[in-house]
Amino acid sequence: MNGKVSLLLKSLAIALSYIIGAKLGFFLAFLNSQVSPIWPPEGIAFTAIVLLGRKAIPGIALGAFLANYLNNPHIPTAILIGFGNTIGVIANSFLLNRFIGSAKIFESVTNLITFILFCTIPGSLISAFTGVTSLLIFGFVPIEVYWSVLLTWCAGEMQGFIIVAPLLLTWWDFPKLKIDFYKSVEIFIFCLFMLISSLLAFREQVPLAYLPFPFIIWASLRFQKYGATLAIFFLSGIAVYRTIKGVGPFAVFFDGKISLNNSLILLDLYIAVATIISYVLVTVMRERSDAQLSVVENLRTIERMKDIANHELEKKVVERTVIIEKQKLELEKQIEMAGKIQDSLLPASIPEIEKLKIAVKFQPMMKLGGDFFDLRYSKSHNSFGFFLCDVSGHGVPAALLAAMVKMSLTYWYDHLHKLKESFHFIYESIYDKLGKNFITASLIHINLRNGKLTTARAGHFPVMIITKDGKVIRLNSHGKIIMSLKKPDAEEVEYRLQPGDRIVVYTDGIIEAHGHNSYNLFSEEKMIQMLLESNHVDIHILAEQIFQAVVEYSGGLKFLDDDLTFVLMEYTP
């Protein structure tokens, strides 16, 4: 029940508003009592149907019928004209929903052009054709002025749709606006200038018709659709009033009398130009503002996405760091265990041997290394054997190959004096596992009964003898490095040791150690110099001195760039 009462009241309010607007329009109807060049009620009806939808149709139909009947109490024409007015409003509102989808005609230039071309003209033509034809049929309009009346009616309808409807739709939200003091002052100044410029433009017949345009532009740019619709309202009201009084640039006179219809038709064109200019400015500024807001929002979105991405990345980095730390700890444990296993492959201790003193310094660059040595002593046979090798590379791969070399020494363990055959056995055991790696090695056998030393090498540095009187003897022998493509073909060389002779065996990490702050090498010459200068020093002390000299030259243990193995033996029969 309350809904029906509310609908009835709304319909009566719409009808009353239509009648009041129609009274204003009929006041300007000079060509025919029912044909006005400006028809405000169509704008009122259009606003009502946009805001209320189909519920507004009964009120529009009632208002259109009563307005026309009160102006000309001829029921058939009142019904037909009211029907045409109502159908015209419905058609334009339907096209508005069809092409734009809402009343947001100022949202874009496309919406504005669509509104002007497709949401005002069709309804205006329908209303004008229905109304003028009904007047023609019932004899209120002669056939001679049919087209003139049709043009006037259509122009008046369009003025209602283009000027009145946007004004009402725009200012319907006025209570929601928040205007500060300074903007209120600016609006007051604008209204004052707009009033003055419009009065001046339509004062006497002087060429000042476009004087209000700068203020229309000002209002459109500063206050958007509110300023544009208000400016056009000021201009239209003053222009129509002045033109009716026969004042202004659009007042047309024939035989000393003003032709109000022709004057208002020209004025309609003027107002339409001003309206379109102001509306286009509003939509262009709106599009520009939307584009700027879109750019800002996109930048904010990008910033938010970047923050999210950074947060996720930091989270992933933290998670990955924890995993890496765990893996690192596990790897260090495994390397430490592997280091212990490799240490177990080395001789547990240096045996006490009659007639031979041995000092060994061994230091891998990392916890695992590619240097490897082994020795065997047979007291019953007075026989001693020593093996030293250097696997290419460092770390785990080199240590694994060194372990393989250890397993390939089984033949040598049983035949310490057969050096050449031992190298051949080593090669046959591991050549297919070397890949791109290679090994250099030296083998030494000493017959402790007679001091006979036999040595063979596979690409390794020659065994060096430092005699008691300070001579340096290199036991050069031929032999290729152990690699997958070629056999070492080692050659044996013999030497008869004398009491006090010292035997020197080492890997390249000793003489090729780089200086900490230079590219200079420690060098074999420097090592020999230290051996000769300290030839009288105990071999254990001397081996330690040479080892420490290499470490200090490199800058410390953490700056070593290769494994270090240095062996010093002294024959003492």
What Å distances lie between residue 174 and 5, 45, 179, 182, CA to CA? Answer: 27, 19, 10, 17
Using the structure block, give the residue that is written with the tokens 């494994």: 563
- Please report whether residue 357 resides in a domain: yes
Residue 139, domain extent = 1-174
Compute the 3-state secondary structure of the chain and give helix, strand, coil in percent, each to the nearest 5. Answer: 60, 15, 25
pLDDT surpasses 80 at 359 = yes
CATH code for the domain in which residue 147 is found:
1.10.1760
Amino acid 476: pLDDT: 92
Domain boundary residue, one of 174, 199, 220: 174
What Å distances lie between residue 325 and 10, 164, 335, 368, CA to CA? Answer: 76, 75, 15, 20
- Please report whether residue 358 resides in a domain: yes
- Please report whether residue 71 resides in a domain: yes
Residue 509 and residue 563 in contact, taking contact as beta carbons nearer than 8 Å: yes
Length, in residues, of the chain: 573
Amino acid 338: pLDDT: 66
Question: Which residues are CB-neighbours of 269 under 8 A, at least 6 positions away?
Answer: none
pLDDT surpasses 80 at 104 = yes
**Per DSSP, what are the bridge partners of residue 500?**
none
Q: How many distinct structural domains can be found in the chain?
A: 2
Helix (H/G/I), strand (E/B), else coil: 119: coil
Mean pLDDT calculated for residue range 417-421: 94
Amino acid 567: pLDDT: 96
Mean pLDDT calculated for residue range 253-264: 73
- Please report whether residue 320 resides in a domain: no
- Please report whether residue 240 resides in a domain: no
Q: Which helix (H) or strand (E) holds 492?
A: strand 492-496
Single-letter amino acid code for the residue at 155: A
**The tokens of 265 are what?**
């038709």
Question: What are the pLDDT digits (tens) for 259-270?
Answer: 766 777 788 788
Domain boundary residue, one of 174, 190, 208: 174
Domain boundary residue, one of 153, 174, 195: 174
Binned at pLDDT 50, 70 and 90, residue 322 comes out as confident
pLDDT above 70 covers a percentage of the chain that reads: 95
364 versus 474: the higher-pLDDT residue is 474
pLDDT surpasses 80 at 67 = yes
Binned at pLDDT 50, 70 and 90, residue 254 comes out as confident
Amino acid 125: pLDDT: 92
Q: Smallest Cα–Cα separation from 261: which of 149, 154, 161? A: 149
Please give the Cα distance from 293 to 336 (Å, whole number). Answer: 62
Mean pLDDT of the residues in the chain = 86
- Please report whether residue 232 resides in a domain: no
Mean pLDDT calculated for residue range 206-231: 85
Amino acid 29: pLDDT: 57
pLDDT surpasses 70 at 63 = yes
Burial status of residue 407 (CB atoms within 10 A of its CB: 0-12, 13-18, 19 or more): exposed
- Please report whether residue 45 resides in a domain: yes
CATH code for the domain in which residue 492 is found:
3.60.40.10
- Please report whether residue 521 resides in a domain: yes
448 versus 30: the higher-pLDDT residue is 448
CA angle 255, 259, 260 (to 5 degrees): 155
